């Protein structure tokens, strides 16, 4: 009897050659590192070197997060991944009334160049790759990073990393948007242009399906809506006068890895194939790097449980294996205690050790694309691809990703999927070990990491001191120039950098843009 996959597609008990009847390996697979990149974006994949092992971290003050980063680097992390607190993500200073109670809670508080300088103190920016999970204020954090690099004597062309910078998924699934879609897309195009000239090795956007998956999207929905957003960004940049091959090689993606290994592997392979075809056929990209769907993966936080949290160690190992078998370029493995609180030093180290075991104690890095030719995986890849293309077609019929967002299409589809998952879990049809099966009467005590509430007052004091020390006339003049650029067509990143260098705060810069562009208010469809 057939089961259903996470995407609601049939999974047969046995697969044989008939599953791939009429299937052309040359068309569907190709060679690793070659179009359509089903088998991976690089010819050697992990046989030469493993994926980049990132650990997502950031909490409290810049001092505390800096100490955590240094510990992660000492433990073998290859790249940093910065989590920012909600006020920073929403473009508010720590002393703003709206920030009360949220400072430093889910990430590090960054209010100005002073904080960014502390965050990366003693960390050579020419030797570490840094990913920053920041969206609406992505340009600001990138420029602050560049300014810290300049203070370290690191040329901008030596800086490597990624800003998430994917605002469309915020309207769909996450909610940390600031500006309406049109100026948000203009800002993204300005970032593309700025980085091409000023920071050429930087990945200018990480188009994210992860948060949609965490909101309940199925694998097919995750890649469909993510790639549809990617298409919207490419169209925006092309409409702004850029050649597709000038920016497409720096696009990257961000996906989840669930415990359902086979479908996750199929999802990643299908996503690469769809993107390569879109970039080649719709946009006429000539550079092979423009056709590559390079992506970061994070294990599924939504599948972690507060009950029997140690079981999450097993879940994360399985999810990490799915990402590796699917050909990810970098990976963050969640800590087992993240369903309870911010990870402790020990749990963060264990999460990194999980990746190191996968890389150095298993044989999955010995060969490229181990599942290629598998009846079940190839059939599931075709099925996920077909389901994703059907959803992408519906988005196109509505006029593209932004129009579909305004009609609430993606959000509605994801909510229906999330409701189905909740129903199956509540009924016991979907087994969650430790929650609805194999439970225990009394949970063992666990002491979580807690953020000191005094951080909010400390950040307010730092801001007060900054405003007394800086040249306020220089800040005011820079913000005026920023607003002029926002009102016109000049690239806003240049006056923005001047303002930040003069020690304007994140909130002040975002407020200047709010005055010109306004803020986004969800429609009734949401």
Give Dmax (Cα) for the chain.
74
Distances (CA, A) of 89 to 94, 136, 154, 210, 227: 11, 7, 26, 17, 23
pLDDT tens, position by position, 170-201: 999 989 999 999 999 999 999 999 999 999 99
Report the phi/psi class of residue 112: left, alpha or beta, with left for phi > 0 and alpha for psi in -120 to 50.
beta
Residue 521 has what pLDDT? 87
pLDDT tens, residue by residue, 267-290 = 999 999 999 999 999 999 999 999
Across the beta sheet with 205-208, the strand order is: 202-203, 161-163, 129-133, 79-83, 52-57, 330-332, 295-299, 251-257, 205-208
pLDDT of residue 524: 53
Which distant-in-sequence residues (6+ apart) come within 8 Å of 16 by Cβ?
A: 375
Residue 53 phi/psi, 5-degree rounding, is: -95, 105
Whole-angstrom Cα distance, residue 389 to residue 395? 10
Q: How confident is the model at residue 1 (pLDDT cuts 50, 70, 90)?
A: low
Look at residue 525 in the predicted model and tell me its pLDDT: 44
pLDDT of residue 526: 37
What pTM, to 2 d.p., does this model score? Answer: 0.93
pLDDT over 90, % of the chain: 89
* Residue 386 CA from chain centroid, whole number: 24
Of 263-272, 443-452, 514-523, the range with the lowest mean pLDDT is: 443-452
* Closest C-alpha among 92, 90, 100, 108 to residue 505: 92
Going by pLDDT thresholds of 50, 70 and 90, the confidence category of residue 241 is: very high
> What is the rounded average pLDDT of the residues 389-414?
96
* Average pLDDT along the chain: 94
Whether the per-residue pLDDT at 446 is higher than 90: the answer is no
CA distance 34 to 510: 42
Residue 303 has pLDDT above 90, yes or no: yes
> Apex CA 381: angle with CA 380 and CA 383, to 5°?
60
How far apart (Å, rounded) are the C-alpha atoms in residues 299 and 315?
9
> pLDDT tier at 254 (50, 70, 90 boundaries)?
very high
The answer to whether 414 and 173 are in contact (CB under 8 A) is: yes
> Cα separation of 280 and 298, whole Å?
28
DSSP-derived letter for residue 264 is: H
Interacting residues of 99 by C-beta distance below 8 A, sequence separation 6+: 86, 87, 92, 93, 456
Euclidean distance between CA atoms 468 and 470, whole angstroms: 6
CB 450 within 8 A of CB 102: no
d(CA 323, CA 253): 13
Name the residue with higher pLDDT: 59 or 418: 418
Neighbouring residues of 169: CB distance < 8 A, sequence distance ≥ 6: 207, 208, 209, 211, 212, 225, 226, 229
> Which one-letter DSSP state was computed for residue 80?
E
CB atoms within 10 A of CB 117: 16
Instruction: Specify the pLDDT at position 445.
Output: 80
Residue of 439, 420, 444 whose CA lies nearest to 430: 420
pLDDT digits (tens, 9 = 90+) for 103-155: 999 899 999 999 999 999 999 999 999 999 999 999 999 999 999 999 999 99
| Mean pLDDT for the stretch of residues 69-84 | 88
Q: Which range in 80-89, 311-320, 441-450 is most confidently predicted, on average pLDDT? A: 311-320
Sequence-distant (≥ 6) Cβ neighbours of residue 365 within 8 angstroms = 46, 47, 50, 324, 359
Q: Are 179 and 166 in contact (CB under 8 A)?
A: no
Q: Between helices 375-397 and 261-281, what is the axis angle to 10°? A: 50
Q: What is the pLDDT of residues 35-67, one digit of tens each?
A: 999 999 999 999 999 999 988 777 888 999 999
């Amino acid at each position: 009897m057939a089961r259903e996959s996470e995407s609601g597609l049939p999974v047969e008990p046995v697969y044989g050659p008939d599953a791939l009847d009429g299937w052309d390996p040359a068309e569907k697979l190709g060679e690793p590192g070659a179009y359509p990149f089903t088998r991976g974006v690089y010819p050697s994949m992990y046989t030469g070197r493993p994926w980049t092992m990132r650990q997502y971290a950031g909490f409290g003050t810049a001092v505390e997060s800096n100490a955590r980063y240094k510990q992660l680097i000492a433990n073998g992390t290859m790249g940093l991944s910065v989590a920012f607190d909600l006020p920073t993500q929403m473009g508010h200073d720590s002393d703003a009334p709206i920030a009360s109670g949220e400072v430093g809670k889910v990430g590090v508080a960054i209010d100005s160049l002073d904080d960014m300088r502390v965050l990366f103190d003693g960390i050579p920016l020419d030797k570490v790759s840094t990913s920053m999970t920041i969206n609406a204020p992505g340009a600001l954090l990138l420029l602050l990073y560049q300014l810290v690099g300049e203070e370290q004597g690191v040329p901008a062309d030596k800086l490597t990393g990624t800003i998430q910078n994917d605002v469309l998924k915020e309207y769909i699934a996450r909610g940390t948007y600031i500006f309406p879609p049109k100026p948000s897309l203009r800002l993204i195009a300005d970032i593309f242009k700025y980085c091409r000239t000023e920071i050429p090795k930087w990945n200018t956007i990480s188009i994210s399906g992860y948060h949609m998956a965490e909101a309940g999207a199925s694998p097919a929905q995750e890649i469909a809506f993510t790639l549809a957003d990617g298409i919207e960004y490419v169209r925006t940049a092309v409409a702004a006068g850029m050649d597709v091959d000038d920016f497409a090689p720096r696009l990257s993606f961000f996906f989840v890895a669930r415990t359902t290994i086979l479908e996750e592997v199929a999802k990643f392979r299908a996503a690469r194939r769809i993107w390569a075809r879109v970039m080649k056929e719709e946009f006429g990209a000539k550079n092979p790097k423009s056709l590559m769907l390079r992506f970061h993966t994070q294990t599924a936080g939504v599948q972690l449980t507060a009950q029997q949290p140690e079981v999450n160690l097993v879940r994360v190992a399985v999810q990490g294996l799915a990402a590796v078998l699917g050909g990810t370029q970098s990976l963050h493995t969640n800590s087992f205690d993240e369903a309870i609180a911010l990870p402790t030093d020990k749990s963060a180290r264990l999460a990194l050790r999980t990746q190191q075991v996968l890389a150095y104690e298993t044989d999955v890095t010995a060969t490229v694309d181990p599942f290629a030719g598998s009846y079940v995986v190839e059939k599931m890849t075709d099925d996920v691809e077909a389901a994703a293309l059907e959803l992408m077609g519906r988005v196109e019929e509505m006029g593209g990703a932004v129009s579909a967002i305004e009609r609430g299409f993606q959000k509605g589809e994801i909510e229906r999927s999330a409701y189905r998952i909740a129903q199956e879990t509540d009924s016991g049809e979907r087994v969650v070990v430790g929650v609805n099966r194999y439970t225990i009467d009394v949970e063992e005590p666990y002491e979580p990491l807690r953020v000191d509430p005094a951080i909010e007052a400390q950040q307010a004091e730092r801001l007060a001191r900054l405003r007394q020390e800086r040249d306020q006339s220089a800040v005011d003049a820079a913000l005026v120039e920023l607003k002029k650029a926002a009102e016109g067509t000049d690239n806003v990143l240049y006056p923005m950098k001047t303002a930040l260098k003069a020690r304007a705060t994140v909130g002040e810069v975002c407020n200047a843009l709010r005055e010109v562009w306004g803020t986004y208010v969800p429609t009734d469809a949401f």
